[in-house]
Amino acid sequence: MSILEANKKRKLRPTPTPMLRPTQTPSLVPPRRLWRTQTPTLRPTPKVYDFHTFADADYHNNPKGAFRDNMPLFLQEYAQQQHKNVGCMPAWLMLLRHSSSTEDAIVPFYIIVEDVRSTQRPYCNHCRCSGWGHHFVSKTNYHLIIPEADHESMPLVDDFLDLQTHLFHGLIHCNGFGHLLSIKGTAGGSKYLHDKELMDLWDRICTNLRTRKITVKDLSRKSSMYLRLLYGVGYGHSWHGKWGYKFCRGSFGVAELDYFRAIKDLSSLQLDQIVKDFGDTDKCREIKQIFRHYKDMSETPLMTLKDLLGFMLTIKSYAPLHINKKATAAPSCSTSKPLVIANKEDGKWSAKRLGEAAEVIATVLKEKNAEKLCHGKMTRHDLRAAARVHIGDTGLLDHVLSLDNVDVGTHVVCRTKNPGTHIFEFSLEELGNGIKASEPARQPGVDVYCDLVYLYNNILVDYPGLKWVNEATWVVLNSKCFVKEWPLLDENDQFLTFTCRLMPLGETETTMEKGLPHGEVVVVVPPHATVGELKQAVENAAKNTYCIAKNFKVTNIEELEGFNDETLLSEAVASGIDLCVTGIGLALENRFRCQAGIESWEVRCTCGATDYDGEKMIQCNDCRVWKHTDCCGMKDTEVIPRVYICRACEVTDALNTIFFEEVIENM
């Protein structure tokens, strides 16, 4: 048999069936897969960053483009996308490590990406209240949230954006305009996050991502005091003004000029005149005592209400500190509280160092008492020189000596001004000396916070006799919306940056200002870009920013008329200017036309308001015009009537009735 025939027989031979044991069954899995093990895909752990330095000016990979381009890059670089969405919206997570003197904590920081084309609420009521209701609807909204619970116990439920328990919630549209919706620090339930820390974080992120404008509705208060009034008179700006937020819009027709005039009038109230105006009231004595106490405490003259409130707020920003040794501490019968020593915000000296300095000062005063010289009192110069023998940090000594009534064990270091020499003198008194049971529990100067509440309620809110003071207070209280605008150009920026206002073909700046919607885009191009490249960049920016600009085509740029597309921009215009861009393809009939929505609201109130300002309103059933319920004489607690006829329509109806009655009589 040849080799060829043998190979043919071998190929035709059937494959033998393997012998199986009685208990053995054929495997349903192919043998080649038996060695493979299917391991679950593990998602990487979210990155952890330092809370107090995250997104600061020195952060690496600092973006230079517009916000719509910077935010996606920011998410890819620093955040981790979660496997569970909020509804249909992707959720990204970063972890921030918060270190404090008491404990370290991990803070979850979520960013929820909302596509307005797939959401049930595409319009922004916050834009409408801020005067931005005519803006085009942005394609994407970014919600920045720090929840109340940690990331492991906080479920991403579908109504996550609507929860009122968040410690922090900010909203930024992809066009760079946004709103700070809520901040709840330690006063709002946070265990370790302060309002100032949250504001610092928000400001760093907005600056780093190059936002355009951010608004905040300031409703913050402590006890009965609205901070926008207290800080407005004391500092000349709201609490958010420390981060650059300025007046944006007032309620009930309050304009910017009205706001600044009211702040100026209240701030310039003379303290002597206030005492005269309260002369016939039972509050005069206590107001005079409060004024006298803080005038004596201040090293600079306090003449106006702004001087006084500003000084008291500065003192209030310090944290009270008891300096008592447990071994020698005795129950205090004093109704006073120790004044401030440590500044929590600065944290320059620890509580231990402050306590040591206060004890050294008390020891020096005890020795002076033992010598029975000058009744145990020492001038600031002598006391400072004696204490420097034991403490070399003069800044620490100056800080402690600038305070009043500091408790040290069972004694109090008292600071008073000599009426003859006008020099501060220090003495050591025992706690409880001179305190009688019949004396009131609260005395002027003992508690700064109580003094602020007293002055707020009796001077700012209920000033006797002068109507203009109460009117100025009303103006400030109805100025709730504040805004911060970031500069368009960076001093170190090497690119060309422009703000381009999009207008449909055939429209002009004048017609756009009459209420037609409009959109703005920030365009960043290389330094050697041409006019044609700028037009292409504007088209791409418009398509990526607004829903109605999907087919937008640039036909003309007003500031570049006469230049061809090959002209270098650096030879035609300067970086940072505003450009009016005309084009075709804006779908102005689309439902995403403007942030105010498709409904047409006509506001014409007796207070002068011509647009919705966030206050409660009612619509007249005859003229269909909206007015404030407060201006119509309705209280907030009243039930809104189902049928309402405004005063103007009532007069018109009455005149028409009289006219028709006369016509009928003459027929």
CB 112, CB 86: distance < 8 Å: yes
The pLDDT of residue 489 is 78
664: Cβ contacts below 8 Å, ≥ 6 apart: none
Structure tokens at 571: 């030879």
**Judging by beta carbons within 10 Å of its beta carbon (0-12, 13-18, 19+), is residue 159 exposed, middle or buried?**
exposed
Radius of gyration of the chain (CA): 35
Q: Is the pLDDT of residue 85 over 70?
A: yes
The pLDDT of residue 24 is 44
The pLDDT of residue 423 is 77
The pLDDT of residue 357 is 86
Domain annotation for the chain: domains and CATH numbers: 48-212 (no CATH), 290-477 (no CATH), 487-584 (3.10.20.90), 617-666 (3.30.40)
Say how many residues make up the chain: 667
pLDDT digits (tens, 9 = 90+) for 16-48: 444 444 444 443 444 443 334 444 444 567 778
User: Which of these ranges, 63-67, 344-348, 649-653, has the smallest mean pLDDT?
Assistant: 344-348
C-alpha–C-alpha distance, residues 606 and 626, integer Å? 10
∠ CA 140-141-147 to the nearest 5 degrees?
Answer: 145
The pLDDT of residue 509 is 52
The pLDDT of residue 42 is 43
Structure tokens at 290: 């409060």
User: Which of these ranges, 144-153, 289-298, 454-463, 554-563, has the smallest mean pLDDT?
Assistant: 144-153
Q: Is the pLDDT of residue 531 over 80?
A: yes
Q: Is the pLDDT of residue 464 over 50?
A: yes
Picking from 405, 403, 421, 402, the residue whose alpha carbon sits closest to that of residue 413 is 405
The pLDDT of residue 151 is 57
SS (H, E, C) 618-632: EECCCCCCEEECCCC
Q: Is the pLDDT of residue 492 over 70?
A: no
The pLDDT of residue 101 is 59
Longest C-alpha distance within the chain, in Å?
Answer: 139
Greater pLDDT, 404 or 584: 584
10: number of Cβ within 10 Å: 8
Segment 236-262 shows an average pLDDT of 95
Banded model confidence at residue 325, pLDDT cuts 50, 70, 90 = very low
391 HSE (CA, 13 A, CB side): 24
C-alpha–C-alpha distance, residues 111 and 141, integer Å? 10
CB 541, CB 521: distance < 8 Å: yes
Point out which residues pair with 98 in neighbouring strands.
Answer: 105
**Judging by beta carbons within 10 Å of its beta carbon (0-12, 13-18, 19+), is residue 306 exposed, middle or buried?**
buried
- Give the position of tokens 């919630």: 169
Kindly compute the dihedral angle of the four CA atoms of residues 148, 150, 152, 158, in this order, to the nearest 10 degrees: 30
The pLDDT of residue 599 is 80
Banded model confidence at residue 210, pLDDT cuts 50, 70, 90 = very high
476: number of Cβ within 10 Å: 24
The pLDDT of residue 376 is 63
C-alpha–C-alpha distance, residues 46 and 79, integer Å? 7
Segment 260-283 shows an average pLDDT of 93
The pLDDT of residue 159 is 87
CB 605, CB 631: distance < 8 Å: yes
The pLDDT of residue 331 is 30
Picking from 241, 208, 204, 74, the residue whose alpha carbon sits closest to that of residue 490 is 208
**Average pLDDT taken over every residue of the chain:** 81
Segment 551-569 shows an average pLDDT of 93
Segment 538-557 shows an average pLDDT of 94
Greater pLDDT, 480 or 329: 480
Picking from 565, 567, 586, 597, the residue whose alpha carbon sits closest to that of residue 501 is 586
The pLDDT of residue 583 is 93
Segment 153-161 shows an average pLDDT of 80
Picking from 358, 360, 471, the residue whose alpha carbon sits closest to that of residue 405 is 358
Greater pLDDT, 661 or 503: 503
CB 567, CB 603: distance < 8 Å: no
User: Which of these ranges, 11-25, 479-493, 601-615, has the smallest mean pLDDT?
Assistant: 11-25
637: number of Cβ within 10 Å: 5
C-alpha–C-alpha distance, residues 196 and 60, integer Å? 24
Greater pLDDT, 41 or 208: 208
DSSP-derived letter for residue 130 is T
Q: What is the pTM of this model?
A: 0.73
Q: Is the pLDDT of residue 346 over 50?
A: no
C-alpha–C-alpha distance, residues 624 and 645, integer Å? 9
Burial state string for 17-38 with b = 16 or more CB within 10 A and e = fewer than 16? eeeeeeeeeeeeeeeeeeeeee
Q: Is the pLDDT of residue 290 over 70?
A: yes
Structure tokens at 15: 């494959």
The pLDDT of residue 332 is 32
The pLDDT of residue 404 is 67
Banded model confidence at residue 436, pLDDT cuts 50, 70, 90 = very low
SS (H, E, C) 381-438: HHHHHHHCCCCCCHHHHHHHHCCCCEEECCEEEEEEECCCCCCEEEEEEECCCCCCCC
Beta strands in 116-249 (DSSP E): 140-146, 168-173, 177-183, 213-217, 221-222, 225-226, 246-249
Banded model confidence at residue 554, pLDDT cuts 50, 70, 90 = very high
The pLDDT of residue 542 is 95
Q: Please report, rounded to a whole number, the percentage of residues in the chain having pLDDT higher than 90.
A: 46
Q: Is the pLDDT of residue 201 over 60?
A: yes
Q: Please report, rounded to a whole number, the percentage of residues in the chain having pLDDT higher than 70.
A: 79
The pLDDT of residue 334 is 33
Residue type, 476: V
Q: Is the pLDDT of residue 438 over 90?
A: no
The pLDDT of residue 213 is 96
User: Which of these ranges, 46-60, 350-364, 503-517, has the smallest mean pLDDT?
Assistant: 503-517
Reduced to 3 states (helix: H, G, I; strand: E, B; else coil), residue 248 is strand
C-alpha–C-alpha distance, residues 66 and 522, integer Å? 6
**Judging by beta carbons within 10 Å of its beta carbon (0-12, 13-18, 19+), is residue 501 exposed, middle or buried?**
middle
C-alpha–C-alpha distance, residues 184 and 187, integer Å? 7
Kindly report the backbone phi and psi dihedral angles of residue 225, in degrees, each rounded to the nearest multiple of 5, phi listed first. Answer: -100, 125
CB 174, CB 162: distance < 8 Å: no
Measuring CA to CA, how many Å separate 24 from each of 18, 21, 421? 11, 5, 110
